[in-house]
DNA sequence: TGTACATCAGTGAACGCGCGTTCACTGATGTAC
DNA sequence: TGTACATCAGTGAACGCGCGTTCACTGATGTAC
């Protein structure tokens, strides 16, 4: 059995189990027995459980960042210094997110993993993701800044995270929500459907009117 | 040491530790040693770790549902059959969410717990919450239905969950986001600030234009 | 008023179990001379 | 071409540890007669 085979089988099995039950709730024995691989192989190839978790993420995020950078390069060339509209930026991101895990049919898995990563309190994973993939997010939010010149800095920061919350929350809880939606409305939704529904909501959210001034600064302002 | 004391000390400590590190990552020994309580006391008073987790939630959700029902009663009386505007409904919900845990200064804890509950894959907790508190959510979404008569059923369902995602995601990851915001924009945000910022975003999201028809139904529609 | 019994919060120690990790080892393949 | 050695994927068994739960027990308080 060649190395690539064992390593790949571990990663394939681990990502599914992690997405289904979380990191702490998935033991190395769960993974290795389902992957039909020796228990010690995980520590042999990855060093530790923590490192395995990071490897699972890297397998999605490395190609994602590569393609996203490429797509942004293309956009910038196309717009040649002019401002890229917000809708185009969001569309590009959505397309990249959809494309990357397409070959493994596992956008759902990827989104659940992202959701888990964010809800992990101790945050070794969040730190890892920020360290390795923070730069592509910075580049994206720079472009969003240019596309929304009227939005105050802080407001844009918060709105980007509001939107991130919507997307990760919805797509990572997709199965549960889909069951309810199907039962109540007899409507089967695919991830593409959901992204179609998300688009106008996200755009409206980013373009919402500014909030009232905080109440304690009202006297000074009025 | 009276019962109320032990039970309360366990709950107080458990909710903080659960919120900080998650359910699986918090052991009964962590809880009981920090609460200065005998290890066996958890199983004596609650029966199991699972039941303790549910009790932690019940302590927030029971008063929340009670107050929220009361607030909705009041609104319905006030509007006397007329439609309650969406903004008012959202405002009422926000106010109730803010009021309930105020005495323990722990909205943050509550929101992190909710976020964890949603990201829990195995879902005994999600089932418990849906069983015990589903009805107040139904009542609320009925009122939202009346306030947004032009929104198709399924669209409203999804948008409510988009918005839920934003709120839970943002407030449950508040500490991490706050650190970044403070560092980058020198701005300290309170939960009340955040809700002020959320309001126009949520309203715009609910009122966003309808999405394009799904591409495979386009030929039939046009 | 006094005695016997029941109830119940709380305790200390132990139970068996599954966990991540380690270690000595095998066997196949490649490399040097 | 043959031999000695190095490298490396993979293995089987065991390690110690922390986990949730259980159990026999204590001691205080309440209740019945």
Query: Quick one: A149 and A123 in the same domain?
Result: yes
Residue pointed to by tokens 């829990």: B120
Q: B2 CA, D33 C1': separation in Å?
A: 30
> Is B25 near strand C, with its CB below 7 A from some atom of it?
no
Query: Quick one: B19 and B121 in the same domain?
Result: no
Looking at every residue in chain A, the average pLDDT score rounds to: 88
Tell me the nt nearest to A27, Cα to C1': C19
Query: Quick one: B36 and B83 in the same domain?
Result: no
pLDDT of residue B215: 59
Cα(B222)–Cα(B215) distance, rounded to whole angstroms? 11
Burial (CB count <10 Å: 0-12, 13-18, 19+), residue B127 = exposed
Is B222 within a domain? no
Which residue among A13, A29, A47 closes a domain? A47
pLDDT of residue B218: 44
Query: Quick one: A43 and A64 in the same domain?
Result: no
Structure tokens at A172: 């990572």
Is A19 within a domain? yes
Give A176's contacts in chain B (Cβ within 8 Å).
123, 126
The set of residues, in sequence order, having a beta carbon less than 8 Å from that of A65 and lying 6+ positions away, is A133, A136
- pLDDT of B219 over the 60 cut: no
Query: Quick one: B18 and B87 in the same domain?
Result: no
Q: A219 CA, C15 C1': separation in Å?
A: 67
> What is the count of structural domains for chain A?
2
Query: Quick one: A129 and A33 in the same domain?
Result: no
Residue A31 sits in a domain whose CATH number is 1.10.10.60
Is B213 within a domain? no
Which residue among B47, B64, B80 closes a domain? B47
**Per the CB < 8 Å rule, is B196 touching A211?**
yes
Burial (CB count <10 Å: 0-12, 13-18, 19+), residue A191 = middle
Q: B34 CA, D20 C1': separation in Å?
A: 17
Structure tokens at A149: 């010149």
Query: Quick one: A57 and A164 in the same domain?
Result: yes
Query: Quick one: A128 and A21 in the same domain?
Result: no
Give B164's contacts in chain A (Cβ within 8 Å).
169
Query: Quick one: B11 and B69 in the same domain?
Result: no
Confidence of residue A178 (pLDDT cuts 50, 70, 90): confident
DSSP H helices in A39-123? 40-45, 49-79, 86-99, 107-119
Query: Quick one: B41 and B137 in the same domain?
Result: no
Is B212 within a domain? no
**What is the arithmetic mean of pLDDT over B177-206?**
86
Query: Quick one: A82 and A159 in the same domain?
Result: yes
Please give the model's pTM, rounded to 2 decimal places: 0.89
Structure tokens at B172: 């449950």
Cβ pair A118, B169 in contact under 8 A: yes
Give A181's contacts in chain B (Cβ within 8 Å).
154, 157-158
Shortest CB distance from B185 goes to which of A21, A154, A200?
A154
pLDDT of residue A101: 72
Percent of chain A with pLDDT over 90: 64
Question: Tens of pLDDT along A17-42?
Answer: 999 999 999 999 999 999 999 999 99
Query: Quick one: A126 and A115 in the same domain?
Result: yes
Question: Tens of pLDDT along A96-146?
Answer: 988 887 666 688 888 889 888 877 766 788 889 989 999 999 999 999 999
Would you give the DSSP letter of residue A221? H
Is A216 within a domain? no
Confidence of residue B3 (pLDDT cuts 50, 70, 90): low
Residue B65 sits in a domain whose CATH number is 1.10.357.10
**Per the CB < 8 Å rule, is A164 touching B168?**
no
Would you give the DSSP letter of residue A104? G
Domain of B5 in residue numbering reads as: 1-47
Percent of chain A with pLDDT over 70: 92
The set of residues, in sequence order, having a beta carbon less than 8 Å from that of B137 and lying 6+ positions away, is none
pLDDT of residue A105: 61
Cα(B168)–Cα(B195) distance, rounded to whole angstroms? 12
Structure tokens at A120: 């992990």
Contacts made by residues A78-83, CB under 8 angstroms, sequence distance 24+: A83/A146, A83/A147, A83/A149
Give, in order, the Cα–Cα distances in Å from A51 to each of A48, A57, A114, B78, B132: 5, 10, 16, 58, 39
Residue among A73, A208, A69, A191 nearest A150 (CA): A208
Tell me how far the alpha carbon of residue B188 is from its chain's centroid: 23
Is B217 within a domain? no
Shortest CB distance from B121 goes to which of A22, A121, A212?
A22
Is B214 within a domain? no
Q: How many residues make up chain A in this entry? A: 222
Torsion on CA atoms B55, B58, B63, B69, rounded to nearest 10: -160
- Best probe of the B interface among A22, A169, A187, by most B CBs < 10 A, is A169
Cα(B207)–Cα(A97) distance, rounded to whole angstroms? 26
Confidence of residue A4 (pLDDT cuts 50, 70, 90): low
DSSP H helices in B120-152? 124-147
Is B20 within a domain? yes
Residue pointed to by tokens 């107080």: B12
Give, in order, the Cα–Cα distances in Å from B110 to each of B56, B69, B90, B113: 9, 19, 19, 5
The set of residues, in sequence order, having a beta carbon less than 8 Å from that of B23 and lying 6+ positions away, is B53, B116, B120
Percent of chain B with pLDDT over 90: 64
- Report how many helices (DSSP H) and strands (DSSP E) chain B contains, helices first: 11, 0
Is A73 or A222 the better-scoring residue by pLDDT? Answer: A73
């Amino acid at each position: 059995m060649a190395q690539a085979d064992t390593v790949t089988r571990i990663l394939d099995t681990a990502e599914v189990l992690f997405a289904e039950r979380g990191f702490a709730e998935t033991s190395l024995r769960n993974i290795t027995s389902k992957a039909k691989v020796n228990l010690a192989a995980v520590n042999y190839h990855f060093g530790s459980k923590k490192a395995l978790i990071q490897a699972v993420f890297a397998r999605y995020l490395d190609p994602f960042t590569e393609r996203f950078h490429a797509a942004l390069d293309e956009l910038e060339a196309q717009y040649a210094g002019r401002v890229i509209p917000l809708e185009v930026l969001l569309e590009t991101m959505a397309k990249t997110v959809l494309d990357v895990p397409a070959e493994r049919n596992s956008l759902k898995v990827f989104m659940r993993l992202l959701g888990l990563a964010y809800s992990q309190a101790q945050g070794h994973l969040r730190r890892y993701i920020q360290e390795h993939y923070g730069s592509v997010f910075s580049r994206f939010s720079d472009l969003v800044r240019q596309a929304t010149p009227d939005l105050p800095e802080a407001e844009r920061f918060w709105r980007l995270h509001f939107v991130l919350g919507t997307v990760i929350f919805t797509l990572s809880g997709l199965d549960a929500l889909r069951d309810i939606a199907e039962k109540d409305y007899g409507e089967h939704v695919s991830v593409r459907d959901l992204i179609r529904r998300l688009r106008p909501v996200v755009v409206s959210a980013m373009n919402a009117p500014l909030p009232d001034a905080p109440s304690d600064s009202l006297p000074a302002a009025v």
